[in-house]
Chain A
Amino acid sequence: MIYLFDGSLTGLLTAVFEWFERKPGRTYLQLTGIFQPDAFTESFEVINNEDKADRVWKGLQKKLKKDWQRTFYCSYLSEIPEAFNHLFQFAIYIFESEIGAAANYGNDHVVALSKYAKSVEREKHRMEAFIRFQKTGDGMFYTSIDPDFNVLPLISNHFKNRYADQQWVIYDLKRKYGLHYDLNTVEEITINFSDGAKSPNPSPALMDEKEELYAVLWKDYFKSANIVARKNTKLHLQHVPKRYWKYLTEKQLA
Chain B
Amino acid sequence: MSDRIREKLNILADAAKYDVSCSSSGGTRKNDNKGIGDSHSSGICHTYTEDGRCVSLLKILLTNHCIYDCLFCVSRKSNDIKRAAFTVDEVVDLTMNFYRRNYIEGLFLSSGIFKNADFTMERLLLVCKKLRLEQRYNGYIHLKTIPGASEELIKEAGLYADRMSINLEMPTEAGLKLLAPEKSHADVIKPLEFVQQNIVQFAEDKKLIKHVPKFVPAGQSTQMVIGATPESDKDIMYTANAFYKNFSLKRVYYSGYVPISNDSRMPILGTQPPLLRENRLYQTDWLMRFYGFKVQEILNDANPNLDVDIDPKLSWAIRNMQHFPVDINKADYKMILRIPGIGVMSAKKIVQARKFGKLRIDQLKKIGVAYNRAKHFITCADSPYQIKDYQGTQIKAFIMADSQSKYLKTDNNQLILF
B327 at the interface (CB under 8 A from A): no
Tell me the nearest residue of chain A to B44, going by C-beta.
Answer: A129
Instruction: Identify A227's interface contact among B51, B100, B356, CB under 8 A.
Output: B51
The interface residues of chain A lying within 8 Å CB-to-CB of B6 are 216-217, 220
Q: Choose among B40, B353, B359, B406 the residue that contacts A234 (Cβ–Cβ < 8 A).
A: B406
**B window 31-69: CB within 8 A of A:** 31, 34-38, 40, 44-55, 58-59
Query: Which A residues between 200 and 234 are near B, CB-CB below 8 angstroms?
Result: 210, 213-214, 216-218, 220-234
Q: Is the CB of A163 within 8 A of B100?
A: yes
Partner of B46, one of A129, A163, A238: A129
* CB within 8 Å: A-B pair count: 162
Report yes or no: B48 in contact with A239, Cβ–Cβ below 8 A: yes
Chain B residues contacting A158 (CB-CB under 8 Å) are 38, 40
Total contacting residues, chain B, CB less than 8 A? 59
**A165 lies within 8 A of chain B by Cβ:** yes
Q: List chain A residues, Cβ under 8 A from B357.
A: 106
| Residues of A with C-beta under 8 A to B275 | 230, 232
Which A residues lie within 8 Å of B14 (CB)? 224-225
CB < 8 Å: which of A101, A106, A163, A225 contacts B359? A106
Q: Which residue of B lies closest to A228 (CB)?
A: B51
B-side contacts of A248, CB under 8 Å: 47
Tell me the minimal C-beta distance from A228 to chain B in angstroms. 8
Interface flags for A233-254 (1: CB within 8 Å of B; 0: not) read 1111011100000001110000
Contacts A106-B356, A164-B34, A226-B51; A141 near B367 (Cβ below 8 A): no
Which residues of chain A (57-111) have a CB below 8 Å from chain B? 101, 103-108, 111
Question: Shortest CB–CB separation between residue A64 and chain B, in angstroms?
Answer: 14
Q: Which of A132, A162, A222, A239 contacts B38 (CB 8 A)?
A: A162
Q: Does B341 contact A (CB under 8 A)?
A: no
Residues of A within 8 A of B17 (CB): 224-227
Contact A224 B45 (CB under 8 A): no
User: A19: CB under 8 A from chain B?
Assistant: no
User: In the complex, what residues of B have CB within 8 A of residue A232's CB?
Assistant: 50-52, 275
Report how far A103 CA is from B259 CA in the complex, Å.
50
B357 to chain A, nearest CB (A): 6
Q: Is the CB of A111 within 8 A of B366?
A: yes
Residues on A lying within 8 angstroms of B by beta carbon are 101, 103-108, 111, 125, 128-135, 141, 143, 158, 161-166, 210, 213-214, 216-218, 220-236, 238-240, 248-250
In the A-B complex, the 8 residue pairs with the closest CB atoms: A235-B52, A105-B353, A224-B13, A230-B51, A103-B352, A232-B52, A226-B49, A104-B356
B residues neighboring A (CB under 8 Å): 2, 5-6, 9-10, 13-14, 17-18, 30-31, 34-38, 40, 44-55, 58-59, 94, 97-98, 100-103, 136, 256, 258-259, 272-273, 275, 349-350, 352-357, 359-360, 363, 366-367, 406
